[in-house]
């Protein structure tokens, strides 16, 4: 596999990484394309196949694992698999794009290890675990049990932050967006106005 650059944004759920990634995708000078992950989890109400995720069955997912079709994959929660198909990255690189990921911490670090010279791995740090819980509750997409699972996982994920190339503290969204834009522009060699 060869091609453009890889930009990874990882963080605990509710940290703001998805908002940051969406913002960066709207910046044409960065020449970014979003890596759509595959997942075995059920689709949420407003999610679209091939746009938010490639929704596949658990057996399909396991078949892809068996055939080494993933760049990285993870069983994030029991029977909830997430992964990056190699064909997705090859497709985006064939379009001449730099690939941006909104991905789980373990998956992000795996990609960084496979492509150390062409990957920028960014960890988005929330103001606090309490703030994370508030943000997750505001989403109204998950049960209290799921939220508690995510909060428990967040503590483990926060401990991995030093393994990333850069840490963005998302205490103020506008500042975090500006910092992320600057980092990515520098990494991909884009011209931006100061």
- pLDDT per residue of the chain (194 residues) written in tens, 0 to 9: 567 999 999 998 888 899 999 999 999 999 999 999 999 999 988 999 999 999 999 999 999 999 999 999 999 778 899 999 999 999 999 999 999 999 989 999 999 999 999 999 999 998 888 888 887 788 777 788 888 887 888 888 999 999 999 999 999 999 999 999 999 999 999 877 65
The answer to whether 113 and 1 have CB atoms below 8 angstroms apart is: no
d(CA 85, CA 110): 13
Question: Which has the closest alpha carbon to 12: 180, 178, 164, 160?
Answer: 160
Phi-psi region of 122 (alpha: psi -120 to 50; beta: other; left: phi over 0): beta
Count of domains for the chain? 1
Residue 103 φ/ψ, nearest 5 degrees: -140, 155
3-class SS of residue 51: coil
- Residue 112 placed within a domain: yes
For residue 144, what pLDDT is reported?
84
| Domain with 56 in it | 6-188
Q: Is residue 64 part of a domain?
A: yes
Is 54 part of a structural domain of the chain?
yes
The dihedral through the CA atoms of 76, 118, 89, 34 has a sign that is positive
pLDDT at 187: 97
The CATH number given to whatever domain includes residue 122 is 3.40.50.300
**Nearest by Cα to 166 from 99, 121, 127:** 121
Q: Which of 124, 128, 108, 127 is nearest to 168 (CA)?
A: 124
Global model pTM greater than 0.85: yes
Q: Is residue 194 domain-resident?
A: no
Asked if the structure places residue 90 within a domain, the reply is yes
Residue 12 located in a structural domain = yes
Q: Is the residue at 1 inside a domain? A: no
pLDDT value at residue 77: 77
- Please report the pLDDT score of residue 142 as a whole number: 75
Kindly state whether residue 136 falls inside one of the protein's structural domains: yes
Query: What integer pLDDT is reported at residue 78 of this predicted model?
Result: 85
């Amino acid at each position: 596999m060869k091609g453009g650059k890889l930009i990874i944004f990882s963080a605990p759920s509710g940290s703001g990484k998805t908002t940051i990634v969406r913002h960066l995708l709207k910046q044409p000078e960065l020449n970014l394309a979003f890596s759509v992950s595959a997942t075995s989890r059920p689709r949420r109400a407003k999610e679209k196949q091939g746009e938010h995720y490639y929704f596949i069955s658990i057996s399909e997912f396991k078949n892809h694992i068996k055939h080494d079709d993933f760049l990285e994959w993870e069983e994030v929660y029991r029977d909830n698999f997430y992964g990056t198909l190699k064909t997705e990255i090859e497709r985006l690189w064939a379009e001449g794009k730099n690939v941006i990921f909104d991905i789980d911490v373990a998956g992000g670090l795996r990609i960084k290890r496979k492509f150390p010279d062409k990957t920028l791995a960014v960890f988005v740090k929330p103001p606090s675990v309490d703030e994370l819980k508030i943000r997750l509750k505001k989403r109204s997409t998950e049960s209290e049990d799921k939220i508690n699972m995510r909060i428990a996982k967040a503590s483990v994920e926060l401990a991995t932050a030093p393994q990333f190339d850069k840490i963005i503290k998302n205490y103020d969204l506008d500042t975090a967006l500006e910092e992320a834009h600057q980092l990515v522009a520098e990494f991909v060699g884009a011209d931006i106005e100061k």
